[in-house]
Every structure is written in C-alpha cells, then in structure tokens.
Structure 1
Amino acid sequence: MAERRYKAFISYSHRDKAIAGWLHRALETYRLPKHLLDSGKAERLHPIFKDREELPAADSLGDAIALAIESSDALIVLCSPAAAKSPWIAREIDLYKRLNGDRGVFPVIVDGEPPDNFPAPLLVHYEDGQPTEAKSEPIAADLRPEGDGKKLAKLKLVAGLAHVDLDTLVQRDSARRQKRLAMVAAASVFGMVGTSGLALYAIDQRNEAREQRAEADGLIEYMLTDLREQLEPVGRLELLDGVGKRAMDYYARQKLADLSATELGRRVRAVQLVAEVQNLRGNNEEALPAFRQAARTTEELLARDPDNPEAMFNHGQSLFWVGYIAWQHGQMDEAKRAMEAYADISTRLAAMDRSNLEWQMEEAYSLSNLGTMAVDDGELSRALRYFERSAEDTDRVALAEGRPDARQIELAGCLSWIATTLKQLGRISEAIDVRRDELAIYDTIIAADPANNEARKGRIFAASGLGQMLMLQGNKSDARSHLDSSITEADRLIASDPDNTLLHELTRGGISHRAMLAWSQGDHALATRNFDRLERLQNDLRRRDPKNYQWNIADPANLELKRALTDRSQAPPESLRRMTGNSRDIARKADRESEWMLVAASLIDGFAYERENNFKAARESFRNAATVPETKGERIDLNAIALRAKAAEKAGQAKIAARMNKKLAELEVDPVIDDRLP
C-alpha cells in the first residue's frame, strides 16, 4: 500500500469542474477549531487531490491517478447526471472501494436526484476488496440551494473528513461568518474593498506584495461568492459594483509575466466572478472587459504550458464568453475572432482523446457557435454544414452515453438550427422532415417524463415552426393542429411560471402563425383575438426590458405591418401610411426580415391610395413594392416574394409577377400572407 499523502481525493466530471474547484479551495482553506483537535493534529485538511492528469484511452486508470487514490484517506465524489455517466469516475470509485471498502466515501450532490445522479459503484457494497450483491446506501451532502446549501454541505464534509462534531462546527462557523459578513458588507458599501490597502501597499517589496496579492484575491473572491449569495436573493447585487470596479482597477495594474501560475489562477477566478455578477445584472458593458481580462490571463497560463489540456479548456471557456458577450453587443469582428479561437481549441482537445465525451461536446458546441456566426453573415450553406457537424458529434456522444434526456434535448436543439437554416434556404420539405425528427425526440422524453419542462419548452418552438412550414405547403389542417398544440403547451408552462420571459418569447411565434392561418381561412374574429394577444405579450416584454431592440423596435413594427395587411387593413388611409412610414424606417436599419417589411410597406401604401381614388400614387407605390431589391446572400424571403408578386400584378408588371410566382412554384410553397389581399 502506498504511503498516504492526501486527506481526500475529489472525483468529478469535467462538467462539474467549477464546483470542484470551489470545494477544493473551501476544504483546504478551512481552519479547524483547535479545541476539537487531538494533540498534534493539523488545523487544515491539506492536501486534497483534485487536479487529475488526463486519463489515457486504455481501460486502466493512469498510474498517477491510481497512486493518488491509493494515497488518499477519503474519496469525495461529486454526484450529477454527468458524473453518473462517466466511466472514469466509476473506475475511480471502484479502485478506492477495492482498497478501503465503503469507509471514507463521501458523496456530494451537485445536480440531479439520487440515485440517478450517483455513479453505479457508489450504490454497491464492497467487502474484502470485491463488489458484492448487497446495496450500499450512502448519505450525501447536498450543495444545491434546495438541499443543504454550500455552507452546510461544506461543514458536513469537514466534520466527516476530520472526524469532529458537526454541530460545534456549525455554531462556530455561524458566529464567525456573521462577524465577517458585517465587516465585509460595511467595506463594500462605504469603502468598497480595500484592495489598495491590501494589495498595493509596499508593492515594490516582492515577497510582501505576493502575500498581499493573495489576500486581495481571496477577499475579492470571497465578496463575489459569499457576499453575493447574501445580496442576490434580495436583488441588491448593485452593492457589488464598487467591488468589481476596484477589482478591475487592481488587476489592470498587474503584469501577467510577474505572476506565478497560482496567482494567475486566482486572478482568473476573481475576474470571472466580476464578469459573472455584471452579466447576471444584465450589465454586459462591464462584463465584457472583465471576460477579456480573464481571457488574457488564461492565455498567459496556456502560453506557459501549451499542451496542458486543462489550460486549453480554461482558455477556450474564456474565449467563448468574450465571443458571446461581444456577439450580444453586435461587435461581430471580436465575436468571430473569439469564437473561431474557441473552436480551434475545442477541436484540438477533442482530437487529443476521442474517448473524452466532454471534449467531444465542446467541439460540438463550438461548431454550433460558428454556425450562428455564419447565419448572421447570411452564409447559410456554411452555417448548415456547421450545424450538421455539431448534430453528428452530439448524436455520437448521446449514443455513447446511452441517450440520456439532457443530451437528447441538446441533439434536438441542433436539429432545430438545421431545420431553421433549411427553411431560410427555401428547402421546406427537408426542413419539415428535420423538424419532425426534433419533435419526435421531445415527444419521447415527455412520454417517459411528463414533468420534463426543458423538453416541453423545446416542443413549443418546434411545433410552432413545423406548423408554419406546413402552412407554406398548403397543409392547413395539420398546420392548425401543431400550432394549437404549441400554444396550449406554452399556456400550461406560463401558468406555472408567469415571469419566465423565455416562455413568453417562445409563445409568440405560434400565436402569430395561428393568427395568419385564421385570417387566410376567413376567420376574422379568431385572427384578431390572436393578434391582440400577441400585442399584449409584446407590450409585457417591452415593459420588462425597455432597451431590448427586438422587443421594443423590430417585433412591434413586424406585427404592425401584418395587421395592416390583415385585420386592420380597413383602418383610415392616413393611419396606414403612418404605420408603414414607421416600419419602413425600421426595416431600412434592420439586418433581418427587412426585405418583406419594405415590400409590405409600399404595398400597403398602394392600397391606402386606392381607397382615396389616388390611382397614380397607388400605382407608383405598387411599382416600388415590386422592385424592392432582393436581399443579398442565400436567405430566401418567401413572404417578400409573395407580396412582390401581388404588387407587380397591381402595377401591371406581368413579367415580374410571373417570375415571382414561378419561384414560389419551384420551391413548392404558397405563403398565406397574400391569401386575402385585394
């Protein structure tokens, strides 16, 4: 038996890496009360093994891992759905229990519900170095807020690892924490973290400066974790703004080359916490610089050890967040650079070990992100190839994992992107087939687990999208069935979670398509009821976020034009022209859907002039609608084609009308938007 060197070995899935890092720090830095310790016993649980070397592709555990397990007094297993499916975690548990039996095994729930989130060997009783037929029923600490919570779960582990009384730890920790929180809260509100006093004093004295840097990093991390836990539930995260500003000023003065790997690691954690707090508050203008700082730091760590998989993974995550926030801000050049770099790292990681399913999924995620970037550029064929590769990778991982629900939902999401892109390319029949495959995944999951709301949310969008495409092919009966099921599902979920803005967003598509379908079939009253409901939903979203461009500008203009073509087409001509003027200005600035909006605006103007018997102005408006330039790129705007054909007919431009109608026939579609136009 190897000589023991570790207090414990933490076994975890890479998907739970963040919580593993927190727990590792929390346990190693916890100081045990002296009066509880036997003579000569250490006050700290140190060292604890966490940072595993990458496992080889062979069936046996790596020698370094096996040695670390043999050298550990206890085994901490982070339990989650990902951990339950990991063959590596199962082997780590098996090796430890063959050496020690069930003694010293501490399960910690991170996500999911027991026993489904427990790796199989946890549930087996070991005796004389072998698994038996008997079951083991381990008692787990539960990190989830609805369980023990982080603090109590940590104290349970400390008590178990140190063999001390839990109640005494809880009482002592409560008293100490109250004093620290009072002091830190005062500092945050009235002085906002004394990083200048902690980290900048005597900065030219290297040893002392390093100690102070560690203190400052620790204080920042503490405030952005423990204090945040106190402030977030009561909606007072703004009190951390000063912490974030001081922290960013402090880190901006550091030279990365002067920092050790440990110091760089602390810097990454703290800066990411600053970014995370700002992102939670919706303040991405402050979050983006923080994520950039984190990426600079992970880049430095990777430069020092270019072939280190963990350094590669961490830098990839930093790059993703930079790309994501930049994309949200419309800073597309930076977003593309970051996402392409993230994809490069993810692809290299995946190639290093094809048996590492988490790395395969990183590649799948990165390909999907590149597809999204390509869609924004209008390069739909390239986007489709990315989405298809992402779906293939996800399907391969899902198969290897036994097709768990969570992974199947991710696969359905890939299919959703493929279906949407095929529709934009005008390949409607193919898009319908893919959308049906997506729906089949959701229906299978829901049939087995009716309470799976993630599958139900996905189904809302998928059923709505399928209904819209069936409308395009003239299958209005099936279209109505799918649209109604989408709306019913959305209503059910909204009733249980009325403040969920995602549900409100998902609902709008089905309601809009249902209104257009009702109008095309002559049911004016039903169309109006659906349009009115859609307007109420949009107004609610606008109140929730007055700065959201889509909710406040683009979507209302889109709805206004649809109503001007349908149930409000008999509004006074001057009212119609006022609506089209507003929509035309918005459409000229829009990146998407601008073509159909510009065609519709001129067409509606023509109808308004006709009602005033101003036939010259009407003809000019119809000509303008018929000759709106087609959007460059591959995206096919079916509504624009249909309305352009109608405008050309009204303007007497038979050739244009024939060309538009021929294009629709070749695509085998018949949009309903022009079904009742005069």
Structure 2
Amino acid sequence: MQYSAFISYSHADEKIARWLMGKLETFNVPSKLVGSDGEFGPIPRKIGKVFRDRDELSSSGDLGSTVNQALLNSNSLIVICSPDSAQSKWVNNEVAEFRKLGREQRIFSFIVGGEPQSRAPGVACFPASLLAPEHPGEPEREPLAADARDQGDGKQRAFLKLAAGLLGVGFDALAQRDAQRRFRRMAAITTASVIGMSIAVVLAVSAFLARNDAQRRQQQAEDIVGFMLGDLRQRLETVGRLDLMRSVDDKAIEYFSNLDARDLSDRTLEEQARSLTGIGEVRLNEGNYIEAMNAFKEAHLRTSALYQRAPENAQRLFDLSQAEFWRGYVAWEQGRYQDAQMWLSRYRDSAIKLAAIDPDNFDWQREVAYGYHNLAVLDKSRGNFAQAEAHMLAERKLYSNWLEQFPEDLVLRFEAANVDSWLGSLALEQGKLGAAQGYFQKQVQAIEQNLLAEPHNIEWREIHITSLKLLGQATENLQQLEQSERLFQQALMLTEQLHNRDPLNIKWMLEFGNSHWRLVHYAGENSHFHLEQASQLISRAFEANPKDERSAYFLAGVKTFHGRKALIAGDIDLAKRLAKESQDILAAFWREDVPEELRTSYARSLILKGELHHYQQDFGVAQQVWQDALQILSESTKGEVPFIRLPDLIVVSEHLGQKEQATAYQLRLSAAIKQ
C-alpha cells in the first residue's frame, strides 16, 4: 500500500488532523518491538506515510479520483470523530467507500469532541456510515475508538491506542515501551531543568546586587508562574495529571488576582491575559462557570489596563472586546440575564469602535454583526421580541452593505439569509404575518441563488428545504392555502430525494417525515397516507435518536393529531393511548425555557386528554386538565402571548367557557391575518 493510513476529517477539525498526521509520521516505534511479529506482520520502525492533504470532494457528491485512489491505497482509515465530522457528508462518504473495500476491521476512530453515546445532531461524534450495520436490521456497529477528550483517554494515551491498532500490537506493550522512553527523556529534561535552575539562582543572586529586593521578588514570582503555565502545565497534561494541572491554574489565578495591573509591564499584562483567557475557556468547557468567570474577570482587568494605556491600538481594543464577550456569555449561561445584556452590549459597542478604526479589516467588521446577533438571540430568549428584531435589523443592514461589495460571496449570502430567517421568526412571534412571509421569501430566494451556483451542495439543499417549510408555514397562517400547499409539496419532493439518496441518514429521515406531516391537512383523500408516512418516518428517527428535541415534538404532534381523529371516530381506547404516548414523549424534555413549538405541542396533548375525559363525562377532570393547558400557554410571557399560541388558546378558552377571552384571542388572530 502507498499509505499506512488515510485520515478522514471535517475541515473544522483540520488543526487536530495536522497534529495527528505529524505525530503518526514522526512516531518512532520502540526499538525492542521493531521486527517482532504483530497482527499484520513484522512491526516496522515507522508507521509510514499518512494521507491527509485534500481540499474537497467533487461537486457531484462522489469521491474525487485522488481521494478514491488514496482510499484504495491505504492500509487503514482513521476517522477524526467530532460533532462536525458526524454531520460532514465528505467524512460519511469516505467511511462508506472504505467499508465497501472490505476493510472494516482497519477503521479506527479518534474522538476529539462530542459524545460517543449520543445520536443528537451537534452532540454525536460518530458519522452515520461508521455506525451503520453490515446488514439491515442488525445492531449498530461499535467503532474501534481512541478517546482523545480530557474526560476520555486524553490526547497522548489516545494517540498510543491508535498507533498500537495501526501497528497491530497490544496497547500495553506499546504504552510500556513509550513510557520508558518518555521517562528517560523526562529525566534528561529534569536534569537540564535543575542545571537551568541552578544557573537561574546564580543569576538571581547577581541581580540582587543590582536591583532592589521588591523588583527581584516580583520577577522571580512571574518566572515561576510563567513556568507553571508553560512548561509545567504542558508536562502535566502530557502525563495525564489533569488534577495537578487544574491546581496550577487555580494558583495562577490566585496570584494574578493579588497583583495590581497598574504596576505590571505591557508584555506581562498581555501574557497574563492570554493565560487567563485560556484557563477560562478550559473551565467553561468543563461546565465550571464560577471558575471560568473568575478567570475571565482577571483577563478583562488586564485587557482594560492595556487598552487604557494605548486607546488607539486596535489589537488591544479587540482583546478587550473578547474579554467582554466571555463575561457576557458566562453570565448568560448562568441565567444572569441583566449582566449578560450589559456585557454583550459592551462587546457590541467595542466592536463598533474597532470597525471604525480599520474599515478594511473585514474580520473586525464582522465582529459588529456578531455583537448585534448575540443581543438579538438573548432578547428573543427573554421574550423581548421587538428589541430582538431591532438588533437583528441592524445586523441585516450590515450584510446588505457587504453583499453590495461582494455580490457573489455565497457564504455572505447564506448568512444574510439566515438573518432574514430570524427576522421572519421574530415577526411571527409578534403576529406580523405579512412581514414574516416577506422575510422567509427573501431567504428562499437567496438560497435558490446559491443552489444555482452550486447545485450539488448538500448544505444549500438542506437549508432550501427548511426555508420552503418556513415560508409555507407563514403563508398558511395568512390563509393562502393553495400557495402553502405548493410549498409543502415542493419540500416533500426535495426531502424525498435526499432520503432516497441515504435512507439511513436520521436527519433526512426526520425532515422527510415532517414534510409528509405538513401535508396532512391538505391532502384530502391522501391525508391518511401522509399521516401514516409521517408517523413511520418520525417514529424511526426518534427511536434512533430519542434525545433529539425536534423529533420529540414532531412525533408528539403526529400522535396528538392521530388521537383526535380516533376520538372523532369513536375509538376511545386508541385515542387515550396516543394522548398518553404524546405526553410521555414531551414530559422528558420539559423545562422552564422550552421552545414555543414544544410548549404548544404539549398543550395540545393536554387539550386532547381533557376532551377524552369530557367525552366520558368526567367533567371535573376535563376542566382541570384544560386549566393545566391554559397555564402552560399563558406562562413565560412578557406582555402579549406569542402569536404561535393563539389558536390553542382559543380552543382551550372555549372549552373552559371563557368566551370573552376566546373572542379577544380570535380578534387578534384575525387582525394579524388581515394585515
């Protein structure tokens, strides 16, 4: 074979792919193992050449000839597993192609992020083709995996596991030899360090004669902290002593917090700010918000001091803006929304100043868009829809200007379309149905332009389907039913094409089922067919990924609708079962800040349950269940309830005999439709 291994990865993981390739190609097999018999023959001195350099696959979606030839000429396939690679069509195709060659036992997984046990998009780390069974109906395949995450094996141990698999030797044998070699190296480093420390002591004594005692002690302390955050931290991470590494970080933060930033040099402040930001990100990834915030606060103090010394320095303003963002982000994660609003507003304002300093730096210009977007999403999550819309409109204005400068930039066009989609959703929340329809129409047009330029780009095709459904929903709300049916039919045709291309793709399966579900109310004689198809496809998607929230409320909605049809037909037992199944599914996802779709889906299941009790003349129980539904539809609002809840509020108010309230909701609904 020309290559010992082929590394398959998402471009988002390119940095780790480069690192892994370098480690593999420079790895020296322990001399005592070289020449001995391994699982695949005599063990070589080197692992050999690794294939990584590829830009992209051909636009047709098939593997390009270079990549295809490299797969054929590779002994093994290494899959860098992360949430990005799990959703990468290229990684998925490469794994599928390699499996076709009959070398399944030569596929090795290298986990760098995500959760191996999860199948939720954005969390799962294994590509679908890596898990797919050899024959339909069999259990999922269990990949041979080395877990490079901190909570797994760690990078060094995971690398050794991977190397052992490629060489065909036991991990313990390779690890023991490698440990002996590293021990000898560490001993040499330690000896050199002792010598260096001895020299440093001599130099310190000499410096004592020339400097005053306070300056000498401060310098020594900073040298020690620098060593702690540099060489020592790296060595502790290498040997897997994460507990000691965290202690080093804590001591560093404690030391920094006792210093007065005004007494430190610019270089010292910059190094400390970088170190503290790095520590904060590590703590944030661990879910330790308090310690993350402590680190970001100290980083902010230092970036503030640096900026005050040179307010004309754009890089220092950029560093300050990042520290402001992190303080706002952690406050948001902690539920301290007022603090989050303050710090994210500061980040936005700093970004505006930064963009004014250097109008030609496009990266800094985009920081302004990020600033507005953060504030918009925060306001939307708090129910401040009008304020969120104002921030999103400011972001949209920036993209309009950029698109005038770069009209053929597909990514810019997509990002602008994404802002239009947000604006459409915010308009829906406020009952501005005509405006929502206009924004979603812009999104459809922009994505269709991208598809004209790149007709085989799967990402554009997926977004196109979503945009058609959003436009169809807005059009349906305006009672323009013929147009909305055409849009949903178009979405169904496109999702069917994707599903037929890869029937095992859970995401496409769910979208195909949802497209059938959208047509249930339009199909007349075909209504039952669409309902059955939606039920089957969405059920399969939910069974494959029971932690996915979208699958849950889609499936619950189908079951509630089916249950109401059973009630109308007089099949009470079936209606009861479906209503209970719907509630059980949604109960597992219930929390205080649930999305509107899940909230309304849960309320509908309760309304159906109340109708069943009312049908059986359990009037008191029915009233209580409807009161529960009313509470769910009325809570977590600021001012008027979101528009999406109005149809269900009308139904439950009428059930409870609250005619005046039902009429008020109906008037608001009718006014929105007539706009």
- Bin of the TM-score, shorter chain as denominator length: 0.5 to 0.7
The 1:492–1:615 alpha-carbon spacing in structure 2 relative to 1, beyond 3 Å, is same
How far has the Cα of 1:223 moved from its partner? 6.5
1:479 aligns with 2:474: no
> Which residue of structure 2 lines up, in the alignment, with residue 109 of structure 1?
none
Q: Supply the distance in 2 between the matched residues of 1:321 and 1:181 (Cα, whole angstroms).
A: 41
Q: TM-score, normalised by structure 2?
A: 0.57
Q: Supply the distance in 1 between the matched residues of 2:555 and 2:368 (Cα, whole angstroms).
A: 41
The 1:207–1:637 alpha-carbon spacing in structure 2 relative to 1, beyond 3 Å, is closer
1:469 is aligned, of 461, 467, 474, to 474
> Which residue of structure 2 lines up, in the alignment, with residue 529 of structure 1?
533
1:518 is aligned, of 507, 517, 520, to 520
1:250 is aligned, of 222, 227, 252, to 252
Q: Supply the distance in 2 between the matched residues of 1:184 and 1:292 (Cα, whole angstroms).
A: 41
1:414 aligns with 2:422: no
**Counterpart code for 1:205:** R
- Listed one character per residue, the Cα deviations across residues 361-408 of structure 1 (whole Å, up to 9, x for unaligned) are 221221111111211221111111111111111221232345422222
Q: Which segment is superposed worse, 363-372 or 480-489?
A: 480-489
Q: Supply the distance in 1 between the matched residues of 2:425 and 2:337 (Cα, whole angstroms).
A: 21
The 1:413–1:557 alpha-carbon spacing in structure 2 relative to 1, beyond 3 Å, is closer
1:566 aligns with 2:583: no
How far has the Cα of 1:346 moved from its partner? 1.1
- 3-state secondary structure, aligned to 2:415: helix
- Listed one character per residue, the Cα deviations across residues 508-531 of structure 1 (whole Å, up to 9, x for unaligned) are 577446424325645234324324
> Which residue of structure 2 lines up, in the alignment, with residue 576 of structure 1?
579
**Counterpart code for 2:427:** L
> Which residue of structure 1 lines up, in the alignment, with residue 278 of structure 2?
273
- Listed one character per residue, the Cα deviations across residues 422-470 of structure 1 (whole Å, up to 9, x for unaligned) are 1111112221221121222222223212454554454343233223223
> Which residue of structure 1 lines up, in the alignment, with residue 99 of structure 2?
none
> Which residue of structure 2 lines up, in the alignment, with residue 375 of structure 1?
380
> Which residue of structure 2 lines up, in the alignment, with residue 443 of structure 1?
448
Q: Which segment is superposed worse, 460-469 or 533-542?
A: 533-542
Contact 2:519 / 2:530 at 8 angstroms: preserved in 1?
Answer: no
- 3-state secondary structure, aligned to 1:271: helix
- 3-state secondary structure, aligned to 1:589: coil
- Listed one character per residue, the Cα deviations across residues 71-107 of structure 1 (whole Å, up to 9, x for unaligned) are xxxxxxxxx9xxxxxxxxxxxxxxxxxxxxxxxxxxx
How far has the Cα of 1:342 moved from its partner? 0.3
- 3-state secondary structure, aligned to 1:389: helix
Q: Which segment is superposed worse, 515-524 or 278-287?
A: 278-287
- Listed one character per residue, the Cα deviations across residues 259-316 of structure 1 (whole Å, up to 9, x for unaligned) are 3222222223333334445666777676555444433332332233333221111111
- 3-state secondary structure, aligned to 1:378: coil
Structure 1 runs not aligned, ≥5 long: 1-18, 20-79, 81-177, 188-192, 232-237, 544-550, 671-678
| Aligned-CA RMSD value | 4.6
Q: Supply the distance in 2 between the matched residues of 1:645 and 1:390 (Cα, whole angstroms).
A: 36
Q: Which segment is superposed worse, 472-481 or 627-636?
A: 627-636
**Counterpart code for 1:660:** Y
The 1:340–1:639 alpha-carbon spacing in structure 2 relative to 1, beyond 3 Å, is closer
Q: Supply the distance in 1 between the matched residues of 2:245 and 2:355 (Cα, whole angstroms).
A: 38
Q: Supply the distance in 2 between the matched residues of 1:357 and 1:337 (Cα, whole angstroms).
A: 25
2:600 is aligned, of 578, 583, 596, to 596
Higher relative contact order (CA 8 A, sep 6+): 2
Q: Supply the distance in 2 between the matched residues of 1:185 and 1:591 (Cα, whole angstroms).
A: 54
> Which residue of structure 2 lines up, in the alignment, with residue 333 of structure 1?
338
Contact 1:248 / 1:290 at 8 angstroms: preserved in 2?
Answer: no
The 1:451–1:259 alpha-carbon spacing in structure 2 relative to 1, beyond 3 Å, is farther
- 3-state secondary structure, aligned to 2:335: coil
User: Percent same amino acid at aligned positions?
Assistant: 19
**Counterpart code for 2:382:** D
The 1:262–1:476 alpha-carbon spacing in structure 2 relative to 1, beyond 3 Å, is same
How far has the Cα of 1:603 moved from its partner? 1.7
1:605 aligns with 2:609: yes
The 1:348–1:642 alpha-carbon spacing in structure 2 relative to 1, beyond 3 Å, is same
Q: Which segment is superposed worse, 316-325 or 372-381?
A: 316-325
> Which residue of structure 1 lines up, in the alignment, with residue 221 of structure 2?
209
Q: Supply the distance in 2 between the matched residues of 1:331 and 1:220 (Cα, whole angstroms).
A: 36
**Counterpart code for 2:562:** D
1:384 is aligned, of 385, 389, 414, to 389
2:348 is aligned, of 340, 343, 349, to 343
Q: Supply the distance in 1 between the matched residues of 2:184 and 2:495 (Cα, whole angstroms).
A: 49
Q: Which segment is superposed worse, 571-580 or 336-345?
A: 571-580
Contact 1:380 / 1:634 at 8 angstroms: preserved in 2?
Answer: no
Contact 2:429 / 2:644 at 8 angstroms: preserved in 1?
Answer: no
Contact 1:316 / 1:342 at 8 angstroms: preserved in 2?
Answer: yes
2:305 is aligned, of 286, 300, 305, to 300
Q: Supply the distance in 2 between the matched residues of 1:426 and 1:184 (Cα, whole angstroms).
A: 71
Structure 2 runs not aligned, ≥5 long: 1-14, 16-54, 56-177, 188-192, 205-213, 567-573
Contact 2:468 / 2:487 at 8 angstroms: preserved in 1?
Answer: no
> Which residue of structure 2 lines up, in the alignment, with residue 3 of structure 1?
none
> Which residue of structure 2 lines up, in the alignment, with residue 86 of structure 1?
none
Contact 1:256 / 1:300 at 8 angstroms: preserved in 2?
Answer: no
How far has the Cα of 1:336 moved from its partner? 1.9
Q: Supply the distance in 2 between the matched residues of 1:495 and 1:321 (Cα, whole angstroms).
A: 41
How far has the Cα of 1:479 moved from its partner? 3.1
Equivalent residue pairs, number? 463
**Counterpart code for 2:560:** L
Q: Supply the distance in 1 between the matched residues of 2:297 and 2:501 (Cα, whole angstroms).
A: 37
